[in-house]
Amino acid sequence: MQFENRNFEGGTVNLDGNRYTGCTFRNTVLRFGGGDLHMTDCEFDGISFQFEGKLANGLHALYQLFGTEGLIKIIRGFVDPQPGVMEL
Rounded-to-integer distance, Cα 18 and Cα 26, Å: 18
Tens-place pLDDT, residues 5-33: 999 999 999 999 999 999 999 999 999 99
55-64's contacts with Cβ under 8 Å and 24+ in sequence apart are: 58/34
For the chain, give the mean pLDDT.
Answer: 88
> What is residue 82's predicted lDDT score, i.e. its pLDDT?
63
> What is residue 88's predicted lDDT score, i.e. its pLDDT?
47
Q: What percent of the chain has pLDDT over 70?
A: 88
Residue 53's pLDDT band, with cuts at 50, 70 and 90, is very high
Write down the pTM of the prediction.
0.76
